[in-house]
Amino acid sequence: MKINSAEFIISNSDVNKCPNEPLPEYAFIGRSNVGKSSLINMLTNQKNLAKTSSRPGKTQLINHFKINSNWFLVDLPGYGYAKVSKKSKSIFQKFITEYFEKRQQLVSAFVLIDIRHEAQKIDLEFMQYLGESEIPFGIIFTKADKVGKTKALQLIADYKKKLLTSDWSEMPPYFITSSEHKTGREEVLEYINTINQD
């Protein structure tokens, strides 16, 4: 899919204030620092559309980006990092949960996983939550440039095994990406394109 336009629309912590147009949207969620904001820049071919940082905890709001004037990418704060206070952590959790529970326009979430890390409890629990809430999701493995290709395939095989021995009977759609090398860009965009046309 060709990206002709990508524009920032609004940031907020209140799902009721998100754009009210009935356009399909796709939200990136995952541990802080996993590369959610970088992936939005990579997919849209823009350097600073979404704010990124080497320090975890950069994205603190729900951010809507309108793509090709007819669908949205949504950047969310990360979960599971130590550097913010307990209080702001629980505020994030509350509005992230509200976003997933209330947002009718959400077509699919993508759970981002750093390819170097083996399956972690917090991610498995979040996928469990999405499953129980009947929210479709895909998995995006990030930072594939940090490992070799063979290693990447082996890590994904291990991940699959872990997922299938927890509560899942099948692996959700998944993608291997690197925002540094622009790996996986077409695959993710084509997947979204296919769903948008259903």
Binding positions for ligand GTP, rule: CB under 6 A: 32-38, 52-54, 56-59, 77-78, 142-143, 145-146, 178-180
* Among Mg ion, ligand GTP, none, residue 138 binds (CB under 5-8 Å by kind): none
**Interstrand relation of 71-75 and 62-67 (parallel, antiparallel or unpaired):** antiparallel
Q: End-to-end CA distance of the chain: give it in Å, rounded.
A: 15
Residue 59 binds to Mg ion (criterion: CB under 5 A): yes
**CB under 5 A: which stretch of 14-22, 50-58, 126-134, 151-159 binds Mg ion?**
50-58
Residue 37 binds to Mg ion (criterion: CB under 5 A): yes
- C-beta closer to ligand GTP: residue 56 or 131: 56
For CA atoms 75, 121, 160, 103, the dihedral sign is negative
Closest CA to 104 of 25, 31, 170, 17: 25
Q: How far is CA 14 from CA 20, 31, 105, 110, 189, in A?
A: 12, 21, 15, 20, 27
* Among ligand GTP, Mg ion, none, residue 35 binds (CB under 5-8 Å by kind): ligand GTP
- C-beta closer to ligand GTP: residue 54 or 169: 54
Closest CA to 77 of 103, 104, 95, 65: 95
Cross-strand partners of 10: 64
The least CB distance from residue 115 to Mg ion, in Å, is: 18
- C-beta closer to ligand GTP: residue 38 or 108: 38
- C-beta closer to ligand GTP: residue 37 or 108: 37
The count of other CB atoms within 10 Å of the CB of residue 22 is: 7
* Among Mg ion, ligand GTP, none, residue 108 binds (CB under 5-8 Å by kind): none
Question: Residue 121: how many CA atoms within 13 Å on its side-chain side?
Answer: 1
- C-beta closer to ligand GTP: residue 39 or 163: 39
In the bound complex, which residue of the shown chain has the CB atom lying closest to Mg ion? 59
Contact set with Mg ion (CB under 5 A): 36-37, 58-59
